[in-house]
Amino acid sequence: MLDRVGIVAAAQTKYEATKLDKHLSQLVLEVSDKVAEEAGVSLVKDVDAVVSNSQDHWDGRTISSCPIPEVTGAHLKDESKVADDGAYAVMYGAMKILSGHHKLVLIVSHCCESMTDVSMIENCSVDHIFHREIGLDYTVCGAMQARRYMDKYKVTREQFARVVVKNKANALSNPYAQEAARLTVAEVMKSKMLAEPITELDRKPVSDGACAVLLASEDLAKKICKNPVWIKGMSNCYDVHYPGDRDLANCDALIKATKEAYKMAGIHDPLKEIDLVELSEYFSYQELLWTEGLGLCGRGEGGKLIESGATGMKGDIPVNASGGLLSGVPVTVAGTSRVAEATWQLQGKGGKRQVDGAKIAVAHGTGGLCGQMHCVLVLEKGGK
């Protein structure tokens, strides 16, 4: 059992295809101020550490956290940058509190994908000696993984398309979502093919934005927040790098991270005990594969799960009530935004996308080629 770390506030910018009218630091300022206001704390006086979260390659700036201390009240204070998906930054912030050294930690992620060329940056994460010049980006690698997944488990493009239909429709209820629409499976499957079987609609759109989450130690969380959301379990896990070194239809790293997080949280029967999931699906097929890794169904049954309706808004375990990444969330910010959405659900702040009676939620982040690394957090509703 973990000592308790509470999420006391969360904020997101509206995600948009481009937000280049603002300096990156202004986006960070916007969400940092919002969480401070919501929690009734001062960034300068009360927050004792800032975990910033961005990538040099996306910002085109070495030490991309340079502008962060100024706008987060962290001038001459403890600020450090996690250079992985936002869920890792949240987990790191929680570790800082669990160590006993900090009581109030601000996590803030930012990324404006429209600043640069997405494929080029993704290509920079691929092995530079063997793979870059072949022409791998995440869409190409995703296509390989989707194809392998289809071959091994007979999941279908129609099942992938259902994810897009569900999430884009869910996004209609999310005021922060970039893209929302009522689509049909046929429309998704007919959209422009990028890398077979991934079409334009099967892929997360290019997106800009920022997200902040404020974490507090248990006693402080109870003092400043009526209904803090407790982090009950958390873990992360790496898998091998070269896509050919593992069976891409497997998600061993996700399975391990999930097992550890659930054990910490005391979850034995995920389908019964978890009320909703916010996961990071960069492509439609990933939602199905990640639901398997998160233990919501057996291996190869992700397609059947979505067909059953269980992961829809009216189902037993809504997945991505927010619209997920398919509705438009930038990389890096993705994991943090899942934590923010899950937090709001557990605080009853989900608005039109609220899942009724939500008590336990799972937030998930991933990074690297074909989901090489995963981070899973189990969150519990606090307060009365």
Residues in region 115-154 near other proteins by CB under 8 A: 115-117, 120-122, 124-129
Residue located via tokens 């930054």:
89
Two tokens, residue 191: 């959209």
CB 141 within 8 A of CB 244: no
Pick from 200, 240, 308, 349 the residue near other proteins by CB under 8 A.
Answer: 240
The sign of the dihedral angle between the CA atoms of 292, 299, 297, 169 is: positive
Is residue 6 near other proteins by the rule CB under 8 A? Answer: no
**Residue of 74, 141, 188, 211 that binds other proteins (CB under 8 A):** 74
Measured from the Cβ of residue 384, the count of other Cβ atoms closer than 10 Å reads 5
CB nearer to other proteins: give 355 or 378. 378
Q: Could you say whether residue 251 binds other proteins (CB under 8 A)?
A: no
Q: Does 56 bind other proteins (CB under 8 A)?
A: yes
Binds other proteins by CB under 8 A, chosen from 37, 40, 238, 349: 238
Q: Which residues contact 249 (CB under 8 A, 6 or more apart)?
A: 145, 148, 149, 151, 152, 153, 289
Site string for other proteins, 79-108 (x = CB under 8 A): xxxxxx---x---x-xxxxxxxx-------
**Of positions 7, 9, 10, 29, contacts other proteins by CB under 8 A:** 29
* Of 100, 99, 101, 61, nearest in space to 81 by CA: 61
Query: Is 284 one of the binding residues for other proteins (CB under 8 A)?
Result: no
231 binds other proteins (CB under 8 A): no
Q: According to the binding rule CB under 8 A, does residue 263 interact with other proteins?
A: no
Distance CA 365, CA 176 (A): 19
230 contributes a contact to other proteins by CB under 8 A: no
- Are the C-beta atoms of residues 188 and 201 closer than 8 Å to each other? yes
60 contributes a contact to other proteins by CB under 8 A: yes
Q: Binding of other proteins at residue 169 (CB under 8 A)?
A: no
Asked whether position 66 contacts other proteins by CB under 8 A, the answer is: yes
86 burial class (0-12, 13-18, 19+ CB within 10 angstroms)? buried
| Residue number, 20 or 271, with CB nearest to other proteins | 20
Report d(CA 12, CA 349) in Å as an integer. 13
**CA nearest neighbour of 152 among 246, 257, 281, 271:** 246
Judged by CB under 8 A, the residue of 8, 10, 39, 71 near other proteins is 71
Our finding on whether 277 is near other proteins (CB under 8 A) is: no
Strand (E) or helix (H) holding 225 = none
Query: x/- binding map, residues 30-49, to other proteins, per CB under 8 A?
Result: ------------xxx-----
